[in-house]
Amino acid sequence: MLRLRALYATPGGATVAEVGLILAGAVVARTALAAFGHVRTAGRQALRHAQTARLAGHLEPALGAVVVEHPQPAAYCVAGRCPTVIVTTAAMAALDSGQLDAVLAHERAHLAGRHHALKAAALVGRQVLPFLPLLRDAEAQVTRLAELQADDAAIRAADPRALATALAVLATPAHPAPAPALAAAATDALQRIHRLLGPAEPLGRLRRHLLRATAATLALTPVVVALTPAVLALALGRVPAA
């Protein structure tokens, strides 16, 4: 610490501080551009997909979802300006009423919890600082926690076995969900099925808040990493050498 203070108290300390601020500004600008670009692109994709689904299918008010004719059983949601839950006719044929209700509740929980935004925050952090191990795996972990929270929300009003069975039916990797979507059975389906059928381990309120806090922290990490050296340089540069 004394060496740092001595370094930044020298005449060149101001230059170091200025360079630190420039680098910090570059990282902050890159973070902002990455976030803006991702939000704009994902928003356009989600809106286009929701509009296409509504044109190709039909809205079922009783389900609160758009039903699309397709041979692959699937259920997913897209957020954005036109938040939509989408379910295929094959899924409706393969699931009984209880299973279908559980799946739709799962998808509505994604929209209510703004899980798409949490996933986007983690993605931006990984794009800006991909060399940080914390951010490299952030998107996958946030997505997994979002699925667990949506599962817990769904089983408050549905039988866990119904949701587990529905996940088994929908967990077919042949046709992944579109990029802007969160699909009921797209992530860790087998582990989630075991969790639903095993002893109850719901995510408590603290863990739900932790999910949001974690995503926010991941989104701010590039900014913090960028600003810390600059702030340290400015602070130490003004302190006389010991």
> pLDDT tens digits, residue range 165-178?
999 999 865 555 66
Per-residue confidence (pLDDT) for residue 166, from 0 to 100: 95
Give the mean pLDDT of the chain: 77
Domain residue limits at 90: 2-237
| 134 is a domain residue | yes
Sequence-distant contacts of 17-25: CB under 8 A, at least 24 apart: 17/230, 17/233, 17/234, 17/237, 20/229, 20/230, 20/232, 20/233, 20/234, 21/230, 21/233, 21/234, 23/226, 23/229, 23/230, 24/226, 24/227, 24/229, 24/230, 25/226
Per-residue confidence (pLDDT) for residue 145, from 0 to 100: 87
| 99 is a domain residue | yes
Per-residue confidence (pLDDT) for residue 228, from 0 to 100: 56
Cα of first residue to Cα of last residue in the chain, in angstroms, is: 10
User: What length does the chain have?
Assistant: 242
| 242 is a domain residue | no
Structurally, the chain folds into a number of domains equal to 1
Q: Give the pair of three-digit tokens for residue 52.
A: 């296409």
Q: Which amino acid is at 80?
A: G
Q: Residues 41-93: pLDDT tens digits?
A: 777 888 898 999 999 999 999 999 999 999 999 999 999 889 999 999 999 99
| 42 is a domain residue | yes
| 110 is a domain residue | yes
| 227 is a domain residue | yes
| 143 is a domain residue | yes
Per-residue pLDDT of the chain (242 residues), as tens digits, is: 555 455 455 555 556 556 666 666 666 676 677 667 667 777 788 889 899 999 999 999 999 999 999 999 999 999 988 999 999 999 999 999 999 999 999 999 999 999 998 888 888 777 777 777 777 788 888 888 899 999 999 998 889 999 999 999 998 655 556 656 677 777 788 889 988 988 655 556 666 666 666 656 655 565 555 555 555 555 545 444 44
